Amino acid sequence: MLKSVNDMLVETMGPLGPLFAVGALGILLIIAALPTIMKKTVDPFSKFRDATKPTNPSRRDGQPAKKMLRAGRGTDKLDKFATFLEPKSAEEMSSARLTMMRAGYRGKNAVRTFHAVQFILGIFFLLVGIIYAIFASATGEIATTTLVLVIIMPGAIGYYLPKYWVERRVQSRQREIQDGFPDALDMLLVCVEAGQSLDQGIIRVSKELSSGYPALAEEFE
Protein backbone atom coordinates (compact mmCIF):
# COMPACT_ATOMS: atom_id res chain seq x y z
CA MET A 1 0.00 0.00 0.00
CA LEU A 2 2.78 2.42 0.91
CA LYS A 3 4.54 1.60 -2.35
CA SER A 4 1.41 2.38 -4.35
CA VAL A 5 0.98 5.70 -2.52
CA ASN A 6 4.64 6.53 -3.12
CA ASP A 7 4.33 5.67 -6.81
CA MET A 8 1.21 7.82 -7.09
CA LEU A 9 2.95 10.81 -5.47
CA VAL A 10 6.00 10.41 -7.71
CA GLU A 11 3.82 10.15 -10.78
CA THR A 12 1.71 13.17 -9.80
CA MET A 13 4.30 15.55 -8.33
CA GLY A 14 7.61 14.25 -9.60
CA PRO A 15 10.54 12.63 -7.77
CA LEU A 16 10.15 14.95 -4.78
CA GLY A 17 6.43 14.25 -4.43
CA PRO A 18 6.79 12.11 -1.27
CA LEU A 19 8.95 14.83 0.30
CA PHE A 20 6.31 17.48 -0.41
CA ALA A 21 3.60 15.25 1.03
CA VAL A 22 5.57 14.60 4.23
CA GLY A 23 6.35 18.32 4.61
CA ALA A 24 2.73 19.34 4.12
CA LEU A 25 1.58 16.67 6.57
CA GLY A 26 4.13 17.86 9.13
CA ILE A 27 2.94 21.46 8.84
CA LEU A 28 -0.68 20.40 9.23
CA LEU A 29 0.19 18.35 12.32
CA ILE A 30 2.05 21.31 13.83
CA ILE A 31 -0.91 23.62 13.20
CA ALA A 32 -3.30 21.07 14.69
CA ALA A 33 -1.13 20.60 17.78
CA LEU A 34 -0.51 24.29 18.46
CA PRO A 35 -3.72 24.90 20.47
CA THR A 36 -2.79 22.03 22.80
CA ILE A 37 0.86 23.00 23.09
CA MET A 38 0.13 26.65 23.81
CA LYS A 39 -2.92 26.06 25.98
CA LYS A 40 -2.70 28.16 29.10
CA THR A 41 -2.55 26.15 32.31
CA VAL A 42 -5.61 26.73 34.45
CA ASP A 43 -4.96 27.64 38.05
CA PRO A 44 -7.09 25.29 40.25
CA PHE A 45 -7.58 28.11 42.76
CA SER A 46 -8.87 30.55 40.13
CA LYS A 47 -12.45 29.38 40.69
CA PHE A 48 -12.22 30.37 44.34
CA ARG A 49 -10.82 33.79 43.42
CA ASP A 50 -13.51 34.31 40.81
CA ALA A 51 -16.18 33.42 43.35
CA THR A 52 -15.11 36.33 45.53
CA LYS A 53 -15.41 38.86 42.70
CA PRO A 54 -18.63 40.79 42.00
CA THR A 55 -20.89 38.90 39.61
CA ASN A 56 -22.37 41.95 37.91
CA PRO A 57 -19.95 44.86 37.94
CA SER A 58 -21.35 48.07 36.58
CA ARG A 59 -18.30 50.31 36.53
CA ARG A 60 -14.66 50.24 37.54
CA ASP A 61 -12.20 53.06 37.11
CA GLY A 62 -14.91 55.01 35.32
CA GLN A 63 -15.37 52.43 32.55
CA PRO A 64 -18.70 50.77 31.73
CA ALA A 65 -18.92 47.05 32.37
CA LYS A 66 -19.57 46.33 28.68
CA LYS A 67 -16.30 47.95 27.67
CA MET A 68 -14.45 46.01 30.35
CA LEU A 69 -15.92 42.74 29.11
CA ARG A 70 -15.07 43.51 25.50
CA ALA A 71 -11.50 44.33 26.48
CA GLY A 72 -11.28 41.10 28.48
CA ARG A 73 -12.42 38.98 25.55
CA GLY A 74 -9.86 40.62 23.30
CA THR A 75 -6.96 39.94 25.65
CA ASP A 76 -8.01 36.36 26.48
CA LYS A 77 -7.56 35.30 22.86
CA LEU A 78 -3.87 36.15 23.02
CA ASP A 79 -3.33 35.27 26.68
CA LYS A 80 -3.71 31.60 25.76
CA PHE A 81 -0.63 31.86 23.54
CA ALA A 82 1.42 34.20 25.75
CA THR A 83 4.15 31.63 26.41
CA PHE A 84 4.62 31.15 22.68
CA LEU A 85 4.16 34.73 21.44
CA GLU A 86 6.19 36.62 24.06
CA PRO A 87 9.96 36.60 24.64
CA LYS A 88 11.03 34.63 27.70
CA SER A 89 13.63 37.19 28.77
CA ALA A 90 12.45 40.36 30.50
CA GLU A 91 15.07 42.39 28.64
CA GLU A 92 13.93 41.07 25.26
CA MET A 93 10.30 41.74 26.18
CA SER A 94 11.13 45.30 27.25
CA SER A 95 13.07 45.90 24.03
CA ALA A 96 10.22 44.49 21.92
CA ARG A 97 7.65 46.69 23.68
CA LEU A 98 9.83 49.75 23.19
CA THR A 99 10.15 48.99 19.47
CA MET A 100 6.39 48.58 19.12
CA MET A 101 5.78 51.84 21.00
CA ARG A 102 8.20 53.65 18.72
CA ALA A 103 6.22 52.29 15.79
CA GLY A 104 3.02 53.70 17.31
CA TYR A 105 1.58 50.46 18.67
CA ARG A 106 1.09 51.14 22.37
CA GLY A 107 -1.37 48.39 23.27
CA LYS A 108 -0.29 45.95 25.97
CA ASN A 109 -0.77 43.07 23.51
CA ALA A 110 1.23 44.70 20.71
CA VAL A 111 4.18 42.30 21.08
CA ARG A 112 1.91 39.26 21.09
CA THR A 113 0.01 40.50 18.06
CA PHE A 114 3.26 41.18 16.20
CA HIS A 115 4.60 37.66 16.76
CA ALA A 116 1.19 36.15 15.96
CA VAL A 117 1.15 37.97 12.61
CA GLN A 118 4.71 36.81 11.95
CA PHE A 119 3.76 33.19 12.61
CA ILE A 120 0.54 33.29 10.58
CA LEU A 121 2.11 34.97 7.56
CA GLY A 122 5.14 32.66 7.69
CA ILE A 123 2.97 29.52 7.69
CA PHE A 124 0.61 30.91 5.06
CA PHE A 125 3.34 31.86 2.59
CA LEU A 126 5.12 28.57 3.27
CA LEU A 127 1.96 26.68 2.31
CA VAL A 128 1.66 28.85 -0.79
CA GLY A 129 5.23 27.94 -1.72
CA ILE A 130 4.55 24.22 -1.21
CA ILE A 131 1.41 24.34 -3.35
CA TYR A 132 3.24 26.23 -6.08
CA ALA A 133 6.13 23.74 -5.96
CA ILE A 134 3.70 20.83 -6.29
CA PHE A 135 2.05 22.28 -9.37
CA ALA A 136 5.37 23.37 -10.87
CA SER A 137 6.93 19.93 -10.42
CA ALA A 138 3.82 18.27 -11.87
CA THR A 139 3.99 20.32 -15.08
CA GLY A 140 7.71 19.85 -15.69
CA GLU A 141 11.08 18.96 -14.23
CA ILE A 142 12.55 21.55 -11.84
CA ALA A 143 15.93 21.48 -10.15
CA THR A 144 15.97 20.53 -6.49
CA THR A 145 17.63 23.81 -5.49
CA THR A 146 14.93 25.78 -7.26
CA LEU A 147 12.20 23.79 -5.52
CA VAL A 148 13.77 24.39 -2.11
CA LEU A 149 13.99 28.13 -2.78
CA VAL A 150 10.42 28.21 -4.05
CA ILE A 151 9.25 26.66 -0.78
CA ILE A 152 11.50 28.43 1.73
CA MET A 153 11.62 31.95 0.28
CA PRO A 154 7.86 32.70 0.55
CA GLY A 155 7.86 31.49 4.17
CA ALA A 156 10.87 33.67 5.01
CA ILE A 157 9.27 36.68 3.30
CA GLY A 158 6.02 36.16 5.19
CA TYR A 159 7.88 35.86 8.50
CA TYR A 160 10.07 38.95 8.07
CA LEU A 161 7.43 41.14 6.41
CA PRO A 162 5.90 42.33 9.74
CA LYS A 163 9.38 43.13 11.07
CA TYR A 164 10.15 45.17 7.96
CA TRP A 165 6.83 47.00 8.33
CA VAL A 166 7.51 47.88 11.98
CA GLU A 167 11.02 49.11 11.19
CA ARG A 168 9.69 51.33 8.42
CA ARG A 169 7.03 52.67 10.79
CA VAL A 170 9.67 53.52 13.38
CA GLN A 171 11.79 55.40 10.82
CA SER A 172 8.76 57.23 9.43
CA ARG A 173 7.57 58.33 12.87
CA GLN A 174 11.06 59.47 13.87
CA ARG A 175 11.31 61.66 10.76
CA GLU A 176 7.84 63.05 11.39
CA ILE A 177 8.66 63.89 15.01
CA GLN A 178 11.94 65.56 14.04
CA ASP A 179 10.22 67.62 11.34
CA GLY A 180 7.37 68.75 13.59
CA PHE A 181 9.27 69.36 16.82
CA PRO A 182 10.41 72.94 16.01
CA ASP A 183 6.83 73.96 15.18
CA ALA A 184 5.64 72.32 18.39
CA LEU A 185 8.12 74.30 20.46
CA ASP A 186 7.07 77.55 18.78
CA MET A 187 3.39 76.87 19.42
CA LEU A 188 4.08 75.86 23.01
CA LEU A 189 6.03 79.09 23.58
CA VAL A 190 3.15 81.14 22.15
CA CYS A 191 0.67 79.37 24.44
CA VAL A 192 2.79 79.98 27.53
CA GLU A 193 3.31 83.64 26.62
CA ALA A 194 -0.47 83.96 26.18
CA GLY A 195 -0.93 83.03 29.83
CA GLN A 196 -1.78 79.36 29.53
CA SER A 197 -0.26 76.82 31.87
CA LEU A 198 2.21 74.24 30.60
CA ASP A 199 -0.42 71.48 30.71
CA GLN A 200 -2.93 73.60 28.80
CA GLY A 201 -0.27 74.51 26.25
CA ILE A 202 0.66 70.87 25.68
CA ILE A 203 -3.00 69.93 25.17
CA ARG A 204 -3.47 72.81 22.72
CA VAL A 205 -0.29 71.94 20.80
CA SER A 206 -1.36 68.30 20.62
CA LYS A 207 -4.68 69.28 19.05
CA GLU A 208 -3.01 71.61 16.55
CA LEU A 209 -0.46 68.97 15.51
CA SER A 210 -2.95 66.11 15.15
CA SER A 211 -3.58 66.84 11.46
CA GLY A 212 -0.06 67.65 10.25
CA TYR A 213 2.10 65.60 12.63
CA PRO A 214 -0.07 62.88 14.20
CA ALA A 215 2.92 60.94 15.53
CA LEU A 216 4.20 63.96 17.44
CA ALA A 217 0.69 64.74 18.67
CA GLU A 218 0.49 61.25 20.17
CA GLU A 219 3.71 61.87 22.07
CA PHE A 220 2.26 65.04 23.59
CA GLU A 221 -0.94 63.30 24.69
pLDDT at 193 over 60: yes
Q: Report if residue 158 sits inside a domain.
A: yes
pLDDT band at 160 (very low <50, low <70, confident <90, very high): very high
pLDDT band at 169 (very low <50, low <70, confident <90, very high): very high
Lowest mean pLDDT among 21-25, 108-112, 180-184: 21-25
- Residue, of 203 and 43, whose pLDDT is higher: 203
> Under a CB-based contact definition with an 8 Å cutoff, are residues 173 and 104 in contact?
yes
Q: Report if residue 22 sits inside a domain.
A: yes
Q: According to the model, what pLDDT value does residue 43 have?
A: 45
Q: According to the model, what pLDDT value does residue 37 have?
A: 45
Q: According to the model, what pLDDT value does residue 157 have?
A: 92
Q: According to the model, what pLDDT value does residue 1 have?
A: 56
Mean pLDDT of 187-203: 87
Burial of 137 (0-12, 13-18, 19+ CB in 10 A): buried
pLDDT band at 171 (very low <50, low <70, confident <90, very high): very high
> Under a CB-based contact definition with an 8 Å cutoff, are residues 136 and 142 in contact?
yes
Q: Report if residue 118 sits inside a domain.
A: yes
Residues 197 and 220: their CA atoms lie apart, in Å, by: 15
Mean pLDDT of 153-160: 91
pLDDT at 155 over 70: yes
pLDDT at 34 over 50: yes
Range of the domain at 26: 2-39+63-168
Angle between helices 144-193 and 198-209 (to 10 degrees): 130
- Residues 74-132: tens digit of each pLDDT: 455 666 766 777 788 888 888 889 999 888 888 888 888 899 899 999 999 988 888 88
pLDDT at 58 over 80: no
pLDDT band at 216 (very low <50, low <70, confident <90, very high): confident
Q: Report if residue 149 sits inside a domain.
A: yes
Burial of 33 (0-12, 13-18, 19+ CB in 10 A): exposed
For residue 53, what are the CA distances in angstroms to 50, 72, 77? 5, 15, 22
Q: Report if residue 30 sits inside a domain.
A: yes
What lies within 8 Å, CB to CB, of 217 at 6+ separation is: 206, 207, 209, 210
Give me the number of domains the chain comprises: 1
186 CA to centre of own chain? 37
Q: According to the model, what pLDDT value does residue 10 have?
A: 61
Q: Report if residue 154 sits inside a domain.
A: yes
Q: Report if residue 215 sits inside a domain.
A: no
Q: Report if residue 79 sits inside a domain.
A: yes
Q: According to the model, what pLDDT value does residue 170 have?
A: 92
Q: Is the pTM of this model over 0.75?
A: no
Mean pLDDT of 43-66: 45
81 CA to centre of own chain? 12
